[in-house]
Structure 1
């Protein structure tokens, strides 16, 4: 395996260097030519994109040329969405910010803290919650499965950020439209697709893209090649991405972090056929991050501010996600639109762990998911639209556990892995939502959802001696939601929302048998019921094309919350815990963002309208009932991130808008050790026992479009080489990180 990996890595690096050389040699020629796309019709922008990824960003960056779909399942201008939202297009992700992974694409969004257990694992905390309290979609298809955990998860890393046209993040509940798990936020990515169909245009049109990215502190080299095309009614897209990471380098006092490298190989494709009355789409994705270490639990971890070093000799995680779907879109009449989707996904995960006794444990899980969706939108009258649909998600889960002696011989096996083997988890949901104009200024959105969930797991007890019975459970959930928006003027909106939400216990809740946190051993809990949430939101948005601002405040109450309880037993040095519906609590907070062009500032007779100053920040607080015998007081919600924010200035060269430059500072406050709950006190491998310090980083980035076909991006993050750690992470963030990206389109 090592030789094969080394050979494949070397071949991709050689290919990347050849691409760099050929592209740079042709740069002068390309810069002197006309845009190779100028003869193509404007409608070639992908149907899922808001604009072409090579279109230069206008200043100031008003949201008026964008749309948000995830919040209501219908396209709306962000100003008109009665929710806190963030959107990114391909240009922002790939060139301007040079993002490495999908979770890190969200680190500059208000209300989000991106935790990293390891270099290959990232989990966004949205409004103070993460894991299965957040929902992730790709082209409307659920990535969440029944093995997602309550805490930090690695599954957001199974999306290639270079393979998407647009990303949307909606903060707050989404159970009405998407069912269980959509409690604190919903993220959706729209995969890259073919060039759009233009009626009457039967030409064969193609567009090829090449990308190379290098980063110093990540010790990384990444490359991508893709091609998009159209021949009359038939369109296609295909892309391949490879990333290789060596040992990461943290800030000045820590330096190189050994045992942090991994590699990632991804493939994506999409075919679209535009008929007279139908649009048929077939999409495919293969994502395969391999060898991602959880360094914090190993002897290779470096202590920081009192954190403890793990005892494992090795702990790697391999992941693979394969998705194939077929979608049909049509209009049955001028008033009725419909979309039908059948999808299949396979998720594979394997953990290779060598404990301090030199015994190797290999734990594997495989989830096969079938999805069926039917969605409709009916225009009842002017200003009135009814959206409704039905969807089903059906999962089969297999798992295994093997332990080997130090000499490689098989020591033992179990009848199951971290979750129950030979298990099934199915859910069917129906929803309806009415969008109604109440005159010219008032707008109402109201709806409801019913969902039925069933869990079956025969192999819960790993050896038949623990008394854990098979699981045969079912639950019914019914929720409603209402949103009211007031248009105070053309540029100003006020809104208020009341959302019910629910999260049904999954197989990770009911049947998990594995180590959690830094030293808890979680055992099955087969009698759980759904968690219930009620969220209130108030907010306002403003956008006049030169200035924009938004603020949203929320209060979320949770009942019948599932939490871990110590059983009083110590097993192999770990504290045994089980789960129960024993908790309740609330979260409250706000997010804000604001930006303004400096059109009101004049220097030597020149107006600085090509400059923009922006800021955003967030705060979330949560109080939970004390259910831990070691800490019975009402306590701070577990793993709650501290307040954070960003302040920056951006400049776009005003004439041709080819050059963009930006300076910004990111910061987060400290978490005092006196605020830790019992679980955080025990989690000494990740959380400094004397408190998590505040931090600030200074950063600069620039992008220069040499021609309409070639661009260069250069960024320097953490200029002062500060040592810092995102709260609850398993390792420190990179030190001074110089990033370079070369993008070419032919």
Structure 2
């Protein structure tokens, strides 16, 4: 009997005094086996088992433990801060993290088990690029093209969708607001690329996780985040880049502080962009296309009655601007299961001239003395709570509160007028996101959440006459109200949504089911001053949409895998769609209060072949049907008597044709992409991709906008003794004028003029770049690039500005 008592007491003592902790992946919450745990002197060591459990009883009570695994960032923590069975979360390193996708269904998943096409630019790639703006990042991603209308432009295009049909997200908060427009949109440039940890791009409808606007896909930016309890308490880094051919410079600073429970990060950058110099080699044969022979020198304080002769027509005057970006993050981690984060972001640009407008002609002469966007400002304030739990139905969760403010304005004056017109917009967006992840049936993943957003829009517009003395503007007259861009008495836009996403894992396959229901509400008011349609004063609209996705990923063997997903999406009309007033080239867009939501039904199919040396070939194809497609069409203003033609009215003294956004029936889009990676040797790898997109409109829509020509890219990476050498070749096919959109989104008038009012369409073009990256030391990184080596002149499809010519760029990053 006494032996039995001793045995019982032994097991009681073991269970009482033996201390175990569980090591898990921060994102997937999966246990991590073979994690090494040791003290500072490395005198004692322990290893986690297959369930991620490790016994730390043998370590001294006050010792500092280090957790290390080849695929994860090391973690240091005091033993006396650990409780029995406490979870220890490790963050994957860059290579491991590249196999994880954070944005699909707003939760982390293994990329190889996803049916949706997702591409990632990680921190290592961003560090190598040291880009001046986000366009440089997006241009590196196969399947994305970037349109540009001015120096501060960069509108991404995915699968033939652009602007408010693509959702932009930063740190879980949607950037798209109630005045995101169709056509071209450049708000992605308000994010500093050097403050980013990674960027994920989801192709195809993603409304289950993100709601309205995610028709063509989602671009999710993740900014850097400070870590608590780091081995190094403080970190400081500085980077600088200079483009000598284009007079572009960028300087950025980053500071981090870490202690046991607190961490902070501050990032600051200032970018200066000079006037863009186009390439001089005109392989397309159009000698004067894009050249700037005259330009306007008019500013806020200077007056010039006539255009100025440009001494170098290859310099695109009035494309210069600068931008300031700030990121601040504070983290408080009271325990290993809770983390509080405060996220503050600020971006502000100088005035940005609308280059394509400033080159618009009227009777052979420049039409505008000024046409520019005023300083564009984006502010984000976002507290977040991240927590972990042992309950199956809620293993982890994130609650995000957000307040965003957007300020933008448009200023223009014609050469033959003294009246300067200004439109100003202020948008505030309040948001709440709750995203949760759990496990059901032991191993199946469940993600679910809610989203609430509320937009308020204030729109103001006025004209002022300038008073001049010689060539100086000495004063402005009193403000006279003019037609506002958006409803003049204010507008509101509300979204309420809930979603659920279920993933069933099999031995070599994954099944995904997702569902979301969204409620949208819009309210807008106009007052009687300067109205175009006197009958328009109030609109209240409600829309509801249910969306789902069904995806299947099947790994045939270690070499072959198949994936397919059927998904739906929608875009509810926002304030810009329904209530905008805008003139362009004699065409006036006016409000249409009867506009309804558009819906997309899409199927993707992908096949992937891998080789043991890391080479691969990936083919993705898709087919989309959009019902109640929102597009531009002729629209008459009832009871207008300013002109005899019912399709025109008088606006700002000019007779203009009136159009509006209409529901134009069903359209179709389809396309494919092939990405090949060939590891030629341990030091040489080659990547190639080709993207094809086709759109089919109808008798009402005509040709669909934003359908980019076939695009091909080749890239070779050669590893030298300590650095890397990159060679890149991009080639775009041409697009003939008969395939352009009839409503001006594709900018046919920006293509070469080959006869009276006859345009050639977009010529084919190619470009060669070479880039060399060299780590001088563990703390100093240097890169040099020669871009557009052959100085080719070209324009991206639908762009109103010529791309950069040959330029030499140097960049340096120093970590203290």
Q: Shorter-normalised TM-score: what interval? A: 0.7 to 0.9
Does the residue aligned with 2:630 lie in a helix, a strand or coil? Answer: strand
Conservation of the 8 A alpha-carbon contact between 1:307 and 1:684: no
Q: 1:704 to 1:454 in 2, by over 3 A?
A: same
| Gap regions ≥5 residues in structure 2 | 1-65, 77-88, 283-290, 292-313, 468-475, 636-646, 753-758
> What is the match of residue 652 of structure 1?
719
> What is the match of residue 723 of structure 1?
793
| Residues 337-377 of structure 1: CA deviation (Å, up to 9, x unaligned) | 22111111101111121223242111111111111111211
Q: Does 1:452 align with 2:519?
A: yes
- Of 128, 135, 140, 1:108 maps to 140
Does the residue aligned with 2:520 lie in a helix, a strand or coil? Answer: strand
> What is the match of residue 255 of structure 2?
227
| Residues 362-414 of structure 1: CA deviation (Å, up to 9, x unaligned) | 11111111111112111013431111111100111111101112323135214
Q: 1:127 to 1:461 in 2, by over 3 A?
A: farther
| Residues 621-648 of structure 1: CA deviation (Å, up to 9, x unaligned) | 00111226xxxxxx43113110102112
Q: 1:735 to 1:48 in 2, by over 3 A?
A: farther
Q: Does 1:616 align with 2:695?
A: no
Q: Does 1:547 align with 2:547?
A: no
Conservation of the 8 A alpha-carbon contact between 1:90 and 1:165: yes
Conservation of the 8 A alpha-carbon contact between 2:737 and 2:748: no
Question: Could you state the TM-score of these two structures normalised by the residue count of structure 1?
Answer: 0.86
d(CA) in 1 for partners of 2:260, 2:460: 49
Conservation of the 8 A alpha-carbon contact between 1:460 and 1:524: no
Conservation of the 8 A alpha-carbon contact between 2:106 and 2:435: no
> What is the match of residue 577 of structure 1?
659
User: RMSD across aligned C-alpha pairs, in angstroms?
Assistant: 2.5
Does the residue aligned with 1:708 lie in a helix, a strand or coil? Answer: coil
Q: 1:503 to 1:700 in 2, by over 3 A?
A: same
Conservation of the 8 A alpha-carbon contact between 2:520 and 2:542: yes
Residues 371-390 of structure 1 mapped to structure 2, 5 A cutoff: 371-390=431-450
Conservation of the 8 A alpha-carbon contact between 2:481 and 2:530: no
Conservation of the 8 A alpha-carbon contact between 1:622 and 1:636: yes
> What is the match of residue 534 of structure 1?
601
Q: Does 1:90 align with 2:160?
A: no
Does the residue aligned with 2:750 lie in a helix, a strand or coil? Answer: coil
d(CA) in 2 for partners of 1:648, 1:519: 44
- Of 616, 621, 624, 1:556 maps to 624
Q: What displacement does 1:462 show?
A: 4.8
d(CA) in 2 for partners of 1:333, 1:499: 32
| Residues 631-678 of structure 1: CA deviation (Å, up to 9, x unaligned) | xxxx43113110102112101236xxx301011100100001222342
Q: Does 1:51 align with 2:93?
A: yes
> What is the match of residue 260 of structure 1?
319
Conservation of the 8 A alpha-carbon contact between 2:67 and 2:75: no
Residues 183-582 of structure 1 mapped to structure 2, 5 A cutoff: 183-197=215-229, 205-252=233-280, 254=291, 255-276=314-335, 277-299=337-359, 311-317=367-373, 318-335=375-392, 336=394, 337-356=396-415, 357-407=417-467, 408-410=476-478, 412-414=480-482, 416-437=484-505, 439-459=506-526, 462-464=529-531, 466-516=534-584, 518-543=585-610, 544=612, 546-567=614-635, 568-571=647-650, 572-582=654-664
| Residues 50-78 of structure 1: CA deviation (Å, up to 9, x unaligned) | 536xxxxxxxxx88853211123332333
Does the residue aligned with 1:232 lie in a helix, a strand or coil? Answer: coil
Moved more, 579-588 or 710-719: 579-588
d(CA) in 1 for partners of 2:90, 2:455: 28
d(CA) in 2 for partners of 1:545, 1:135: 36
Q: 1:711 to 1:341 in 2, by over 3 A?
A: same
Q: 1:354 to 1:118 in 2, by over 3 A?
A: same
Question: Could you state the TM-score of these two structures normalised by the residue count of structure 2?
Answer: 0.78
Does the residue aligned with 1:72 lie in a helix, a strand or coil? Answer: helix
Conservation of the 8 A alpha-carbon contact between 2:183 and 2:745: no
Q: Does 1:679 align with 2:743?
A: yes
| Residues 428-449 of structure 1: CA deviation (Å, up to 9, x unaligned) | 1000111012x31231100111
Q: What displacement does 1:421 show?
A: 4.1
- Of 661, 664, 686, 2:728 maps to 664
d(CA) in 2 for partners of 1:113, 1:270: 31
- Of 146, 163, 182, 1:131 maps to 163
Moved more, 245-254 or 567-576: 567-576
- Of 690, 704, 713, 2:783 maps to 713
d(CA) in 2 for partners of 1:378, 1:78: 18
Q: 1:533 to 1:420 in 2, by over 3 A?
A: farther
d(CA) in 1 for partners of 2:75, 2:809: 28
Conservation of the 8 A alpha-carbon contact between 2:99 and 2:112: no
| Residues 436-483 of structure 1: CA deviation (Å, up to 9, x unaligned) | 12x312311001110111111112665356221311111111111100
Does the residue aligned with 1:259 lie in a helix, a strand or coil? Answer: coil
d(CA) in 2 for partners of 1:573, 1:218: 40
| Gap regions ≥5 residues in structure 1 | 1-38, 53-61, 600-608, 629-634
Conservation of the 8 A alpha-carbon contact between 1:108 and 1:646: no
Larger of the two Rg values belongs to structure: 2
